[in-house]
Structure 1
Amino acid sequence: MLRELMRLYLCVLLSSVAWHNIGHIHWEPWIPQIFTHILRSFSLPIGKMQMSLEEYNPIVSTSTKWIIAMIGHGSSCLQYLRDLLIAVKNFYHPSNTGAFQKDLVEFILGLAQNFVDRVHLERTSRPVWFFAPLESYRLTEQDITDFVNCVKDYAFISIFNKDYTEEAAKTCKYLSILRPELIIPSIVEKHFSSIDSMTEPHRFTSIMTCLTHIARQIVQQTSAYSQGQIYVLPLLMSALPGIDLNDLEKTSVTLEFLDTILMLITCIDCSSAVNIRNDLTEIEKEVCLSTSNFDDFIVEFLKRIFQMIDVLSTDMSDAVTSNADVDIDDIMINWKLTTITFNIVQQCSSKIFHKIREKVIDFVSGVCLSSRARDIVSGLVEGLVKGNPVETLKYLMPKTCESIEKILNHSESTILLTDHKGDIELTWYLILFAELVHARGDALIIYKSMIMSVFRQCIHFINKNSYETIAHAVEHLLESLTHVYPIDYRLTVENIDEPFVDFLPIRAWGQYVDFNKLQVQFHIPNEDEID
């Protein structure tokens, strides 16, 4: 045991020395021995013999920094790395299960992550208390390309490893940061080939997980690569069949992908820009024309969500709500749908917002849903309210308050005050009301009289569900009126509606923001809200 610890600490020490002295130490004579030691540390099963994990110390994660520090300036390190990976390639295949696969996948993840760190250190950092690698030993563009080509195939294989999909996806993310043109087309191609695979459903979920991690590199325009934007609309449309209540894992990864990518783009039809601007590249023209399909995507997305809600409203689906695992999945679905709706609404054109609002309002009006489905619908409403509170309240608040008062006026008040069973329709509208009063404080002031009227009539209910809903409404209202919170999460402060003379939305997709240029807008309670 002591020997194992000493070997591990020695590896940590040498890795640190190599990393902090890039270009100052001549490692070339020792590279063969170093890679031999790394190969033995994998503890791979050879033939019928299973190597003991105790005999060879697992130094995989530590050695990756050492390897990356030795690359460059004509070093043979990259060639030895290539030979090492070729030697263990068969063990990367998902069919070869064993404890060794964890080390193998984490090995390429560590390589990719440390390589990105080194590129960042050499090209963007301005070290003060940190080291600066020698200029002549810094990585060249060819070094970066060679490294990505060396590692990418093993990352692609590992994507389909059920136990380590997440690590493989992170590896692809780091590689796509370095050379998106070598990573994105291959993964997108694998995705489209996995859609119709009925015998291997795991391929779809694995690829969707990977696409989620590389979403920014797909949607982002850079000087070196912008072709990824061409895939955005086809990927969005192809992901929708993944919303399937019969497969909660598939639904989960699909919603995660949609949430991530819709946070990075604007849902705007930019096709008219082709006829307005004369500075568009051929790729930008193709992307602008493809954005005309955003309407179709929104319609199909809402259609699938409404179908899912209808299924959840059946008695059979309600019967399983006592299962704790199902409850956790429901919470995840509700949360993701809320954030997806919010991302779409806050960064879409007025035309698309009106379509979303119309369809959601038509669906929720006059519909009494089961308890399980109500949470999902209220999540959609919450996304609308947070994304565009003024326009959402304008149409939903009067209707909701009117429906509540109509039910109260057509019922015996004494019955509602003494009936412990409550009224299903009334409870549903109270849930909507509770979400609406979670809007921005200054947008709620206009409806003060309506809101107070509902509270005065409902505060004396004794039905548990109705009373809890009113309590949530009070909590939401106080939070909206008295708290300080950010109110704008958009990618850009520019006007995103037509015409696109001064600003083209697709050029803002996935772009990073300088912290010093952030223009955060906050809701600060005024006297009318506090009063």
Structure 2
Amino acid sequence: MDFRYSGMVETLTESKKYMTTMRWVMVLINMIVASRTETDGYDGRHLVLPFASSLLPAIDPNDMTKTLTALSCLCIVISYINVVDCSSLSDTIEDETKREICHGTGGFDDFVVQLLDRVFTLIENRAHENTRMADSRIANSVNMEDISLQRIIWAVFRPLATHSSSAICKIAVDKIVSFALSHTLETDVSGRLFSAICQAYAVSRPDIILPKLLPKLCASVEHL
């Protein structure tokens, strides 16, 4: 199998074509991740991080259909992998394919940081967009989008928190805590979306996020 991910997302600007392509990817992703050279003649694991990274530009506040599709695909990808940086061990591995895969995991921390940046921008833009909505029918439609977005954000970050190494999880938590303390979010839209991320880490890695977040939140409440 020759899985050509390069340029696939960037060249698809129409939401319908993008969604069709992503549906096929969702069907194939398990096969790609599970493939091994010994049995299948190729190892698709080295494609996972480049493909996941190529989805990030599709998280676009101006195109919710594309955004929800990209996040849904990321949810599936993340559920199949361990987000662990093994690059320091790559020199000890003799098999060239496995060494390449191991070396590639060094990009996981950057991927998580970029994913959070994209989602934070999305959250901020959703708040701004909804404050401008006047027509009740449009508002109801947007509300359904926000409900779907909240669910998919949880679905992405729950396995990400669960499957990440402690080192990568700490990097993510530092960004989450920094965002929480530096932004004031309204409770109807952006606050709910951001809370989905916090809940995902609080459920999966309470040992990492709670000691960093709770004392600072309590201190900020005391100063009110």
Q: Tell whether 2:137 aligns with 1:320.
A: no
Q: Which residue of 2 aligns with 1:392?
A: 209
* CA contact 2:61–2:122 (8 Å) conserved in 1: yes
Q: Which residue of 2 aligns with 1:116?
A: none
SS in 1 for 2:4: helix
Q: Which has the higher contact order (CA 8 A, sep 6+)?
A: 2
- Among 79, 82, 85, the alignment partner of 1:266 is 82
- Among 375, 382, 390, the alignment partner of 2:199 is 382
Counterpart-to-counterpart distance in 2, 1:391 and 1:302: 17
- Among 35, 46, 64, the alignment partner of 1:230 is 46
> Which residue identity is paired with 1:399?
K
Q: Tell whether 2:4 aligns with 1:189.
A: yes
The number of equivalent residue pairs is: 218
Give the TM-score, by structure 2 length: 0.89
Q: Deviations over 1:145-175 (max 9, x none)?
A: xxxxxxxxxxxxxxxxxxxxxxxxxxxxxxx
Q: Tell whether 2:64 aligns with 1:251.
A: no
Q: Which residue of 2 aligns with 1:205?
A: 19
Q: Which residue of 1 aligns with 2:219?
A: 402
1:110-509 superposed matches below 5 A: 181=1, 185=2, 188-189=3-4, 192-198=7-13, 200-222=14-36, 223-225=38-40, 226-278=42-94, 281-314=95-128, 316-320=129-133, 322=136, 323-370=139-186, 371-407=188-224
Q: Which residue of 2 aligns with 1:455?
A: none
Counterpart-to-counterpart distance in 1, 2:23 and 2:6: 10
Counterpart-to-counterpart distance in 2, 1:318 and 1:257: 29
Q: Which residue of 2 aligns with 1:102?
A: none
Counterpart-to-counterpart distance in 1, 2:203 and 2:78: 16
Q: Which residue of 2 aligns with 1:76?
A: none
* CA contact 2:91–2:99 (8 Å) conserved in 1: no
Counterpart-to-counterpart distance in 2, 1:208 and 1:369: 32
Deviation (angstroms), 1:236: 0.7
SS in 2 for 1:196: coil
* CA contact 1:341–1:380 (8 Å) conserved in 2: yes
Counterpart-to-counterpart distance in 2, 1:190 and 1:287: 16
SS in 2 for 1:189: coil
Q: Which residue of 2 aligns with 1:178?
A: none
> Which residue identity is paired with 2:140?
A
Q: Deviations over 1:432-487 (max 9, x none)?
A: xxxxxxxxxxxxxxxxxxxxxxxxxxxxxxxxxxxxxxxxxxxxxxxxxxxxxxxx
SS in 1 for 2:184: coil
Name the CA shift for 1:366/1:289 in 2 (closer, same or farther; >3 Å).
closer
Deviation (angstroms), 1:313: 2.8
Deviation (angstroms), 1:366: 4.2
Counterpart-to-counterpart distance in 1, 2:209 and 2:4: 39
Larger relative helix fraction = 2
